[in-house]
């Protein structure tokens, strides 16, 4: 389930594999991942272009060229790989950019829930990405307070709303709230200044460690390392973990470490 750390890892893959390289050809193995662009147009407009420095905002990867910009979103099962162009294709390789040095940048996705877009201008880029909040990795404590101010929803739903903060998904939301000791169903408006300070520290620590790893760690000392156990228990206090659907997502928390405070 790619979230901000995974996409930051994909940004590094794109930079190391394709930055400064010219696209020799574009191979579309499955047009079902193309959004608002035909295979013919993608080939015509990207072939011969050079990739510039890639960018990331939240869960979006922004692959600029000296022409249009390719936008990639990885949904639930997407991946980005650098391979030799003659490596055998994987069944889930959907789009491949063959580069002038013999490498190939491969967009791989099993479920095809999101995909690739092509933006001719920055206005197109903004329209495609939609209403995105600031990137969670770059947020200061003051900016976080500003983003949370006046929010009426539950804190888990607020943190994972991409129009509030870009980049946090289900795993990161649960991990951050567990480390901050905040119940996921707490009303955002009820968070105290101390709560928000703990939340900011937890978010910063979780994101820094996750970005270094290139994914949300599954260490036994992390909630993410225990949440899928048959009988999951808290890495901190040893108490049983709880699961419940909140805002359409399966949410995991520790009742002992994250008291519900009357929610």
Which residues carry out catalysis? 2-3, 59, 249
Closest among 220, 171, 177, 167 to 198, alpha carbons compared: 177
The CA distances from residue 243 to 135, 154, 175, 233, in Å, are 28, 16, 13, 11
Closest among 90, 91, 58 to 74, alpha carbons compared: 58
Cβ pair 178, 257 in contact under 8 A: yes
Provide the 8-state DSSP code for 258: S
Cβ pair 192, 261 in contact under 8 A: no
Provide the 8-state DSSP code for 166: B
């Amino acid at each position: 389930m790619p979230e901000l750390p995974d996409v930051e890892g994909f940004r590094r893959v794109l930079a190391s594999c394709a930055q400064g390289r010219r696209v020799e050809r574009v191979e579309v193995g499955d047009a079902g991942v193309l959004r608002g662009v035909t295979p013919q147009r993608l080939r015509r407009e990207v072939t011969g272009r050079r990739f510039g420095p890639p960018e990331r905002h939240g869960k979006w990867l922004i692959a600029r060229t000296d022409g249009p910009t390719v936008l990639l979103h990885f949904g639930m099962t997407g991946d980005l790989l650098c391979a030799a162009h003659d490596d055998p294709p994987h069944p889930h390789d959907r789009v491949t950019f063959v580069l002038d040095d013999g490498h190939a940048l491969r967009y791989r996705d099993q479920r095809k829930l999101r995909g690739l877009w092509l933006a001719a201008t920055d206005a197109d880029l903004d329209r495609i990405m939609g209403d995105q909040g600031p990137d969670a990795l770059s947020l200061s404590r003051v900016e976080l307070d500003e983003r949370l101010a006046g929010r009426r929803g539950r804190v888990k739903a607020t943190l994972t709303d991409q129009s509030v903060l870009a980049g946090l998904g289900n795993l990161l939301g649960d991990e951050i709230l567990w480390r901050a000791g905040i119940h996921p169903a707490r009303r955002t408006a009820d968070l105290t200044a101390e709560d928000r300070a703990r939340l900011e520290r937890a978010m910063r620590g979780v994101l820094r460690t996750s970005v270094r790893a290139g994914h949300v760690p599954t260490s036994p000392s992390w909630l993410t390392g225990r949440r899928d156990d048959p009988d999951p228990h808290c890495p901190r206090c040893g108490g049983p973990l709880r699961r419940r659907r909140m805002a359409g997502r399966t949410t995991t928390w520790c009742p002992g470490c994250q008291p519900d405070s009357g929610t």
